[in-house]
Amino acid sequence: MKPSSLILILSACASLPAWAQPPVQPRAPGIESKGYVWNKPDKEKTVALSRSGDPAKGKELYRVCQGCHQDNGAGKSDADYPQLAGQHVTVLIKQMVDVRSGRRDNPKMHPFIASEVLSPEDMADVAAYLNSLPIPTSNAKGDGKHLDRGKYLYEKDCAGCHGEMGEGDAVKFYPLVASQHFDYLFYEVEQIRDGGRRNANPKMVRVIRKYSDSDLRDVSDYMSRLPPPVGKTASARQK
């Protein structure tokens, strides 16, 4: 879809009376359902992942996302809008597909990535653009009071999937967590532990099920302070 068409659609949606608003986000079976399989095959996801995204096209499409996620993909320090810059393409595509299908509940985001607005090819372009952005290091951190505890928990339970330095794993769809906003990290791990993140990986749920709120805060604080992967910051790219 052309960026101009996308903007027109979203503008039109915003101006509709309440009774004529677009359909609410669908609800697909998630982790609460018997037989749930994390990251199961999905036609739209397969199509998006098979395409080499075009960052230039993605940049234009991303214009409607900047109000929440910022023009540099830095997100906001609250728990609502994560830092997306530098995130793995596979992770970005999976999360967009999960939101539009209703496996991940996010009614605010759904209108911007609904099938009427973005095609699977468009999602690949947006993901390619976001992945190309340097990762800001000005993300919000925690209070820093229990970093030793956070490091211990991370190295014991998280590094096996998310990497020693929080770099994630693009092949396995594990997100980059280094330099992510503290409040977002804490909110999401809390939701995963408590069953609110319905597209969660059951493996992670089992790992953090017994974590206290303090444990979650400590490990989130530690992750928020991990540096971005080498070469992924603005300063590194300017050299």
- pLDDT tens string 62-72: 999 999 999 99
Q: Is pLDDT above 80 for 237?
A: no
Q: How confident is the model at residue 234 (pLDDT cuts 50, 70, 90)?
A: low
Note the pTM of the prediction, 2 decimals.
0.91
Which superfamily does CATH assign the domain made up of 3-132 to? Cytochrome c-like domain (1.10.760.10)
Print burial letters for 78-98: b (CB count within 10 Å at least 16), e (below 16). ebebbbbbbbbbbbbbbbbbb
Least confident of 16-20, 57-61, 90-94: 16-20
In angstroms, the CA 147 to CA 220 distance is 9
- In whole numbers, what is the pLDDT of the chain averaged over residues? 91
Least confident of 10-14, 75-79, 99-103: 10-14
Q: How confident is the model at residue 231 (pLDDT cuts 50, 70, 90)?
A: confident
Q: What is the pLDDT of residue 53?
A: 98
Q: Is pLDDT above 90 for 7?
A: no
Print burial letters for 139-168: b (CB count within 10 Å at least 16), e (below 16). bbbbeeebbebbbebbeebbeebbbebbbb
How many CB atoms lie under 10 A from the CB of residue 65?
Answer: 19
Average confidence (pLDDT) over 170-179 = 98
CATH of domain 147-238: 1.10.760.10
Q: Is the dihedral of CA 38, 44, 45, 47 positive or negative?
A: positive
Q: Is pLDDT above 60 for 112?
A: yes
The yes-or-no answer to whether 3-132 and 147-238 have a common fold is yes
Q: What is the pLDDT of residue 13?
A: 47
Q: Where are the domains of the chain?
A: 3-132, 147-238
In angstroms, the CA 138 to CA 111 distance is 29
